[in-house]
């Protein structure tokens, strides 16, 4: 069963505008963590942001924030004030279990973001 779904294969955004990348997930665990990674064209995987299922506040890291809607099982990434360097593939991932869990990550298909000047 598909556990992480990213329905937007590709997105465009104008430089300096905000953009939302969608991610929905499926799990029967009450405790889990959600992650976003950025993969530039050079190929490396860069950790951006983490949200725990019991976290009451939405996670934020600089220009990245996570719009976590637990009842809807969605964890959308919001990038504010887009920059040309934000052009990349973005992956949503989930790790089932408590925050201390060190298990595998399950990835979505990814969304390619292109920032237009």
Binding site for other proteins (CB under 8 A): 33, 35, 37, 42-47, 50, 52, 91, 93, 99-110
Q: Which is nearer to other proteins, 46 or 81 (CB)?
A: 46
Task: Write down the least CB distance from residue 14 to other proteins, Å.
Answer: 26
8 Å CB contact between 112 and 50: no
Q: Which is nearer to other proteins, 78 or 97 (CB)?
A: 97
CA 6 to chain centre: 9
Task: Write down the least CB distance from residue 12 to other proteins, Å.
Answer: 19
Q: Which is nearer to other proteins, 18 or 46 (CB)?
A: 46
Task: Write down the least CB distance from residue 71 to other proteins, Å.
Answer: 22
Question: What distance in Å separates the CA atoms of residue 92 and residue 16, rounded to the nearest whole number?
Answer: 23
Question: What distance in Å separates the CA atoms of residue 51 and residue 46, rounded to the nearest whole number?
Answer: 16
Q: Which is nearer to other proteins, 83 or 101 (CB)?
A: 101
């Amino acid at each position: 069963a598909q556990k992480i779904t990213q329905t937007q294969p590709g997105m465009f955004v104008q430089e300096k505008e905000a953009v939302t990348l969608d991610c929905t997930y499926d799990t029967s665990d009450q405790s889990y963590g959600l992650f976003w990674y950025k993969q530039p064209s050079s190929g490396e995987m860069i950790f951006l942001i983490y949200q725990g299922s019991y976290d009451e506040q939405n996670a934020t890291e600089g220009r990245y924030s996570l719009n976590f809607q637990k009842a809807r099982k969605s964890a959308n990434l919001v990038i504010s004030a887009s920059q040309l360097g934000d052009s990349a593939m973005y992956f949503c991932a989930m790790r089932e279990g408590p925050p201390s869990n060190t298990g595998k990550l399950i990835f979505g298909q990814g969304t390619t973001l292109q920032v237009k000047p």
